[in-house]
């Protein structure tokens, strides 16, 4: 039997999933809802073009949940609509409508711990299976590197002690990402959710739960390095609209976090992660490293194995056809073919389809999503207090970062 999936949201992220769905068997994309009907129809058309399903568009989330041809929801709306989106799903189910088996939600699960717990508990009450969508854990280079390094290096010389991860680009594509109040923070919330989980995952023995590698202390740092400079604040406002005013309400465009973990054997392991919206290179750069006593691995998504060169005589439109968040169209340019596969979307979606069909155990549930939000909020707390904090610090579940309140001054 195939799992029929409906998408909430028809933006950038949904399009990545739909393209990657060509590598997912036992499933079809049968629905799309977003408030922008034209964009929803475009996403449904993309699903048909990709031959991954005859997706219908719906007038409401409730209508899509109630449809007998939708078995699971992929929740890919903006962060500030998570709670209302989940409420509508849960209310529809509580009225006895629909036959949903599961719900998968994009990162971050929510904007703060209180919201994350709220939606996790609402969904638990109606008995849905959950999946937390963190594509980077499923990136083929991360999967292969972790597997081989643990099987050969760690098995014979001891477990790894240091993991590094970074995600960097020149800034997000839509205005809501830039607004602390809507998104829940700046780059720490938006991208550290990936990197903080990648380091913990790499340090965790394959097949063991993430909880075996326990966070003990967190040191966070945030800064606005580029986008609150007057010339760039002006440029940003012109591109994203008057709501995005980094001269008055910036969000951080740089974040770093150091997480001290305790391994199951009582040893120290360190996760070091950095993320930024102030990186200008060819485009999005994902990287990861894992180091142990006699081995190491490194991955850099821009070392893709394919480079093109365009002389200064080649002139054309700016685009994202070579790499996500592309910054140039001339010179030596790396290309990442099938980015949806390289970033892990295809493997991730295949996994969660099989989870909701009852064929695999979930690698990540909404409990893991809550854990990630706890880690991020501790990093914000640490950055605000300018000191490292034990994990979990007191009052974490009620904490809202100054960036998310719109009161951070950079
Ligand atoms: N895994 C990744 O690497 C990755 C990459 C990008 C985005 N994301 C996450 O995916 C989610 C969507 O991001 P995006 O880049 O597609 O954003 P986007 O702005 O490109 O698209 C957002 C979509 O949500 C729709 N929307 C607007 N109001 C809504 C509402 N009230 N309820 C539901 N949907 C609504 C919009 O019409 C649009 O289709 C975010 O949570 C983001 O953090 C993850």
Least confident of 161-165, 238-242, 256-260, 315-319: 315-319
CA of 78 to the centre of ligand 1 (A): 4
- Given this model, what pLDDT does residue 328 score? 95
Instruction: Check pLDDT > 90 for residue 21.
Output: yes
Distances (CA, A) of 130 to 104, 220, 363: 6, 29, 10
Query: What is the average per-residue pLDDT within 183-191?
Result: 98
With a 6 Å cutoff on the Cβ, whether 76 touches ligand 1 is yes
- The listed CATH number (3.40.50.300, 3.40.50.10800, 3.40.50.720, 1.20.1080.10) that belongs to domain 3-134+359-364: 3.40.50.720
The mean pLDDT of 369-397, rounded to a whole number, is 98
- Count other C-beta atoms under 10 Å from residue 65's C-beta: 26
Ligand 1 midpoint to CA 76 (Å): 5
Token look-up 């199951």 returns 264
CA of 11 to the centre of ligand 1 (A): 5
pLDDT at 123: 98
**Rounded distance between C-alpha atoms, residue 184 and residue 115, angstroms:** 11
Cα 107 to ligand 1 centre (Å): 10
Which of 360, 357, 397 has the alpha carbon at shortest distance from 381?
A: 397
Residue of minimum CA distance from atom 33 in ligand 1:
77
Tell me, using a 6 A CB cutoff, whether residue 174 lines ligand 1: yes
CA atoms within 13 A on the CB side of 163: 28
Tokens describing residue 139:
């990136």
H/E segment holding residue 377: helix 366-385
Q: What number is the average pLDDT over the span 363-389? A: 98
Contact status, residue 334 vs residue 281, Cβ threshold 8 Å: no
* Percent of the chain clearing pLDDT 70 (strictly above): 100
Gap from CA of 148 to ligand 1 centroid (Å): 34
Buried b (16+ CB within 10 A) or exposed e, 318-357: eeeebbbbbbebeeebbbbeebbbbbbbbbbbbbbbbbbb
Domain boundary assignment for the chain: 3-134+359-364, 137-338+369-405
Residue whose CA lies nearest to ligand 1 atom number 34: 77
Q: What confidence score (pLDDT) does residue 1 get? A: 79
Omega prior to 108 cis, within 30 of 0: yes
What is the 3-state secondary structure of 203-227? Answer: HCCCCCCHHHCEEEEEEEEEECCCC
Residue pair 97/66 in contact (Cβ under 8 Å)? The answer is: yes
Please state, in angstroms and rounded to a whole number, the distance separating the CA atoms of residues 189 and 171.
Answer: 13
Please give the structure tokens belonging to residue 391: 């994990």
Mean pLDDT across 244-267? 97
Q: Does residue 162 register a pLDDT over 90?
A: yes
3-state DSSP assignment of residue 32: strand
Nearest Cα residue to 106 out of 133, 79, 78: 133
Distance, in Å, from the CA atom of 70 to the CA atom of 93, rounded to the nearest integer, reads 13
The average pLDDT across 73-80 equals: 98
Q: What percent of the chain has pLDDT over 90?
A: 99
**What atom of ligand 1 comes closest to residue 35's alpha carbon?**
37
Mean pLDDT along residues 346-365: 98
pLDDT of residue 152: 98
What distance in Å separates the CA atoms of residue 170 and residue 60, rounded to the nearest whole number? 34
Whether 107 lines ligand 1, by a CB cut-off of 6 Å, is yes
Residue 106 beta carbon below 6 angstroms from any ligand 1 atom: yes
> Relative to the CA of 172, which ligand 1 atom is closest?
15
Residue 9 CB less than 6 A away from ligand 1: yes
Sign of CA dihedral 110, 114, 120, 125: negative
pLDDT single digits (tens) 131-153: 999 999 999 999 999 999 999 99
> For the chain, how many helices (H) and strands (E)?
15, 15
Indicate the fold that domain 137-338+369-405 takes in CATH.
Answer: Dihydrodipicolinate Reductase; domain 2 (3.30.360)
The overall average pLDDT reported for the chain is: 97
pLDDT of residue 65 exceeding 90, the answer is yes
Strands (E) across 107-213 are located at: 129-133, 162-168
According to DSSP, the residues that pair with 365 across neighbouring strands are none
Q: CA-CA distance, 387 to 347, in Å (whole number)?
A: 38
**pLDDT beyond 90 at 209:** yes
- Tell me, what's the pLDDT at 373? 98
Question: Which band of pLDDT confidence, cut at 50, 70 and 90, is reported for residue 189?
Answer: very high
Residue 288: which residues within 8 A CB-CB, separation 6 or more?
Answer: 136, 141, 142, 145, 163, 164, 165, 166, 198, 199, 202, 297, 298, 299
378 lines ligand 1 (CB under 6 A): no
Tokens of 194: 């990936």
Distance linking the first and last C-alpha atoms of the chain: 52
Q: Which of 78, 173, 346, 347 to mutate to test the pocket of ligand 1 (most atoms within 8 A of CB)?
A: 78
Q: What b/e sequence results for 126-165 when a residue is b if at least 16 CB atoms lie within 10 Å of its CB, and e otherwise? A: eebbbbbbbbbbbbebbeebbeebbeebbeeeebbbbbbb
Take atom 22 of ligand 1 and give the residue whose Cα is closest. Answer: 11
Question: Could you tell me if the CB of 81 is within 6 A of ligand 1?
Answer: yes
Q: What is the pLDDT of residue 408?
A: 97
Alpha carbon distance 128, 355 (integer Å): 12
From the alpha carbon of 36, which atom of ligand 1 is closest? 37
Residue 74, classed as helix, strand or coil, is strand
Ligand 1 pocket, residue 11 CB under 6 Å:
yes
């Amino acid at each position: 039997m195939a799992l029929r999936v409906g998408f909430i949201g028809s933006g950038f992220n949904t399009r990545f999933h739909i393209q990657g769905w060509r590598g997912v068997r036992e499933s079809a994309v049968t629905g799309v809802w977003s408030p922008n009907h034209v964009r929803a129809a475009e996403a449904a058309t993309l699903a048909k073009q990709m031959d991954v399903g005859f997706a219908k568009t719906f007038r409401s989330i409730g209508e899509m949940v109630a449809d007998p041809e939708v078995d699971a929801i992929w929740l890919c709306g903006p962060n500030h609509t998570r709670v209302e989106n989940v409420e509508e799903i849960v209310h529809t189910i509580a009225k006895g409508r629909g036959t949903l088996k599961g719900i998968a939600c994009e990162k971050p699960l929510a904007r703060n711990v209180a919201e994350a717990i709220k939606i996790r508990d609402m969904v638990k009450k109606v008995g849905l299976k959950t999946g937390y969508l963190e594509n980077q854990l499923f990136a083929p280079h991360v999967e292969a590197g972790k597997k081989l390094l643990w099987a050969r290096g760690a098995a014979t010389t001891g477990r790894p002690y240091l993991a590094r991860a970074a995600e960097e680009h020149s800034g997000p594509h839509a205005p809501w990402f830039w607004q602390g109040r809507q998104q829940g923070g700046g780059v720490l919330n938006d991208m550290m959710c990936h990197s903080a989980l990648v380091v913990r995952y790499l340090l965790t023995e394959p097949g063991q739960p993430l909880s075996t590698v326990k966070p003990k202390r967190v040191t966070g740092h945030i800064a606005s390095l580029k986008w609150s400079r007057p010339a760039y604040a002006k440029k940003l406002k012109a591109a994203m609209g008057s709501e995005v005013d980094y001269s008055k309400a910036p969000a951080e465009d740089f974040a770093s976090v150091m997480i001290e973990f305790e391994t199951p054997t009582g040893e120290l392991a360190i996760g070091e992660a950095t993320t930024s919206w102030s990186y200008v290179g060819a485009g999005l750069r994902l990287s990861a490293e894992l180091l142990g006593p006699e081995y190491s691995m490194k991955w850099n998504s821009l070392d893709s194995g394919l480079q093109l060169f365009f002389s200064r005589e080649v002139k054309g439109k700016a685009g994202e056809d070579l790499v996500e968040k592309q910054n140039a169209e001339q010179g030596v340019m790396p290309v990442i073919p099938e980015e949806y596969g390289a970033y892990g979307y295809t493997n991730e979606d295949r996994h969660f389809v099989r989870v909701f069909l009852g064929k695999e155990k979930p690698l990540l549930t909404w409990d893991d999503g809550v854990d990630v939000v706890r880690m991020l909020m501790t990093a914000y707390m640490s950055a605000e207090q300018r000191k490292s904090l034990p994990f979990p610090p007191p009052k974490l579940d009620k904490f809202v970062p100054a960036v998310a309140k719109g009161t951070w001054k950079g």
